[in-house]
Structure 1
């Protein structure tokens, strides 16, 4: 809306300067082309509805509690079916897959930067069991949490940078 208002304001001023029908038609054509390009540009960016932005907030605020689609829908006062449909249309993935990917990203950061054990991380991120955590982690990253830690833990950074510089 702000972009559309700004465009209209600019071109209204241009029309005020017009002295004949041809110049008004030229400004009209110019505004249509410019507006269309701006709207295409805006549509290609990740512009989300109010419900989806609130959904993101709810997911990130509760990532360590194991938030569900039903809980988010309740908080937003919409049905879980509508939320799932809207999320899929706007974000391009299922909401449950998005939530899981964010939980695994949090686990990756904890494995990389903290000394918490994989079991502690699984509990902290509210996975139902350690084996479920391992299966979900491996599905997304291709590595078990232990393999990930062994490869990427901050204490290993010097080893990896040294070996990379030799290549």
Structure 2
């Protein structure tokens, strides 16, 4: 049974408007919807008819129309009634697309309508929560998408398209680049071996990179995204913090999207691999020779915590409390496996972030010091001198303002 209190708080959680429709397709009640969002349904009866035709008595249906995302619920309501969640967009839209949306929904170009933003995973969580509220069924995201497959043409045609593409590939007798060569690249990154990575990238082989889009630029960008993703995982296996590796991948992939020509994409893709290999190499050099035994998963949790709190003053006790573990045991474990104390590792990571900011940002040294949780600029300068061997001013004069292929 629908509880208005529940939907009111759903609006606050996922920033999504909801409309309750009667059997006659009339709006009975709305939650968190602005007048202009109600107009979308009132001025487009054919759209409402199409939405109603897509409803399912068994599960919520998620669909998209003109860049906007909706979900329709017919479960747990009086016969014929539906709830429509949306419209939302899963990310910011360009002015051109906003104008197209206003035209598509007959809102007028001058309406100024901007849809609310809700990331897709958050929207899906809201859909699952409302479905549970209406029916009592604990539906997982995987099962929700499985049940929605019939609504998506690409999903329904997936197997047919795979068979067709593989047949055409076999007919053209084309070969992909060898898997073993790719493994050598990833192994080089995992070990932080710059020389081996250079050698593996320079190998000649029969075969070619797959075509991942009809547009050549888009295809090369897709390959670059895949390479960066694989490199980020190899770096994690090499000892880089999960959060650091993932955050770096986010930055690199966003930068790939900003490139407008194929040669630069190719050069950027290769440099991104070397960025990861150098990170692992630095980790190995500064951490000393590590034990060959498998790293305890607690080590990764420590590194992730430190990476996520670099702008705060960090104490070992804070990390231990967050992980609900004895601080002395954690310190001993970290030191024995990483060959560096947690305190020194924190200082090293803060200085590394400081190096990046000194190279690629215009922040004053005092601002960088406070951003990284140091109590004063002089405290930051001392730590920086100990790790890098020069003070921040000297470092900025020598390495500052390097704009190309910047990373977070």
TM-score, L = length of structure 2: 0.27
| More off after superposition, 138-147 vs 99-108 | 138-147
Q: What is the match of residue 297 of structure 2?
A: 50
Distance 2:346 2:326 in 1: 18
Which residue of 310, 329, 342 corresponds with 1:63? 310
Q: What is the match of residue 142 of structure 1?
A: 389
Deviation at 1:90, TM superposition (A): 1.0
Q: What is the match of residue 346 of structure 2?
A: 99
**Cα gap change, 1:97/1:44 in structure 2, threshold over 3 Å: closer, same or farther?**
closer
| Structure with more helix by fraction | 1
Distance 1:52 1:156 in 2: 33
Distance 2:382 2:308 in 1: 24
**Cα gap change, 1:147/1:73 in structure 2, threshold over 3 Å: closer, same or farther?**
same
Structure with larger Rg: 2
**SS in structure 1 at match of 2:397:** helix
**Cα gap change, 1:113/1:76 in structure 2, threshold over 3 Å: closer, same or farther?**
same
Distance 1:50 1:149 in 2: 36
Unaligned runs of 5+ in 2: 1-289
How many residues are paired up? 115
Q: What is the match of residue 164 of structure 1?
A: none
Deviation at 1:46, TM superposition (A): 7.4
Which residue of 334, 337, 349 corresponds with 1:87? 334
Distance 1:74 1:62 in 2: 14
Is residue 122 from structure 1 mapped to residue 369 from structure 2 by the alignment?
yes
Aligned structure 1 segments of 4 or more residues deviating by more than 6 angstroms: none
Q: Deviations over 1:111-136 (max 9, x none)?
A: 00000010000010010111111111
Which residue of 386, 390, 401 corresponds with 1:154? 401
Which residue of 356, 373, 376 corresponds with 1:109? 356
Deviation at 1:80, TM superposition (A): 1.0
1:2-41 superposed matches below 5 A? none
Deviation at 1:70, TM superposition (A): 0.4
Deviation at 1:154, TM superposition (A): 2.1
**Cα gap change, 1:89/1:146 in structure 2, threshold over 3 Å: closer, same or farther?**
same
Deviation at 1:66, TM superposition (A): 2.0
Deviation at 1:65, TM superposition (A): 1.0
- Is residue 295–residue 337 contact of structure 2 (8 Å, CA) maintained in 1? yes
Distance 1:146 1:132 in 2: 14
**SS in structure 1 at match of 2:380:** helix
**SS in structure 2 at match of 1:122:** helix
**SS in structure 2 at match of 1:75:** helix
Q: What is the match of residue 77 of structure 1?
A: 324
Distance 2:299 2:310 in 1: 16
Distance 1:99 1:44 in 2: 21
Q: Deviations over 1:26-82 (max 9, x none)?
A: xxxxxxxxxxxxxxxxx9657321211111111111111122100000011111101
Unaligned runs of 5+ in 1: 1-42, 158-167
- Is residue 291–residue 337 contact of structure 2 (8 Å, CA) maintained in 1? no
Q: What is the match of residue 206 of structure 2?
A: none
**SS in structure 2 at match of 1:154:** coil
TM-score, L = length of structure 1: 0.64
Distance 1:54 1:44 in 2: 18
